[in-house]
Amino acid sequence: MASEAPNPLGTYLRDRRTRLDPVAFGFGGGRRRTPGLRREEVASRANISPTWYTWLEQGRGGAPSADVLDRIAKGLMLTEPEREHIYMLGLGRLPEARYQPVDGISPRLQRVLDGMVLSPAIIKTAMWDVVGWNRAAALLLTDYAKLPREGRNILRLMFDSDRVRARNEDWAGIARYVVGAFRADVARAGANNSIATADLVAELSRMSPEFEALWRDNDVVAHTEGVKRIHHPDAGLIAMEFSSFAVEGRPELGMIIYNPASSADAKRLRALLDARRE
């Protein structure tokens, strides 16, 4: 007799279902032959056929659609990592990114920034709003704490601040790079068709003909690493290498870390930090 084909998705869904408390989901507790929710209760919460959900747990009926998986994830109140897991089991891929606006970062992530004493570092959203920074970034780049929340957007600073324009040695090259990386970031985070992106692009286009021209070019670049040369009013010209990192589990966030490009640059940066500390 042939053995039954493995059904990882059905096994996982059944495990999640049987761990849930029916009372917490608005169903009567009473006496049940098995723990957790019944299949028809999950199907009701997911707004799908009880027969189809039963087949899904049993590995019958073919692959589910993304819409069905999203309904089941909502019905079972799965976390985002759990939702991603059932996508991998059911479809062999991660779900499309869903952009979520961010107002700030966790204390733990802030401590990561603060631990890099000699490396300016920031956390930005897919819309390029700076939502986290350390002391070194405030001294070398911009003191974001002194800006209103809407003023902490890197694109607004790049195209609407004479101070930022003057401090970037190769402003035109950096501006082209930033626009191309921004285009890639919003697409990766699922925000390329969002109202927030459209509004920001429209605002920047009205504000700056240079941005409008760069946006029309449709260039896309990977925001990975490079060198930025900064004219600081106290420390002079400092060359900083930068590297970009994804924040695990947060596709809408990215971390940029700057490090001096040479020993001379490191000396100037350290002198700036020490002087401001005193």
Residue with tokens 């007799």, as numbered in its chain: 1
Tell me if the pTM is above 0.85.
no
Rounded to 5°, angle at Cα 120 from 117 and 126: 130
Superfamily of domain 8-91: lambda repressor-like DNA-binding domains (1.10.260.40)
**Half-sphere exposure of residue 51: CA atoms within 13 angstroms, side-chain side:** 1
Residue-level pLDDT at 2: 44
Domains of the chain, residue spans: 8-91, 107-277
Which residues touch 241 (CB under 8 Å, ≥6 apart)? 225, 226, 227, 258, 259, 260, 261
The answer to whether 225 and 245 are in contact (CB under 8 A) is no
Which residues touch 110 (CB under 8 Å, ≥6 apart)? 132
Q: What b/e readout covers 93-111, taking b as 16+ CB neighbours within 10 angstroms? A: eebebebeebeebeeebbe
Q: What is the pLDDT along the chain (278 residues), one digit of tens a residue?
A: 444 456 899 999 999 999 998 888 888 767 788 889 999 999 999 999 999 999 999 988 788 999 999 999 999 999 888 998 999 999 998 887 776 677 788 899 999 999 999 999 999 998 999 999 999 999 999 999 999 998 999 999 999 999 999 999 999 999 999 999 999 988 887 787 788 899 999 999 999 999 999 999 989 887 678 899 999 999 999 999 999 998 877 777 899 999 999 999 999 999 999 987 75
Topology at the third CATH level for domain 107-277: Beta-Lactamase (3.30.450)
Q: With CA atoms as reference, report the closest residue to 94 among 105, 103, 83.
A: 83
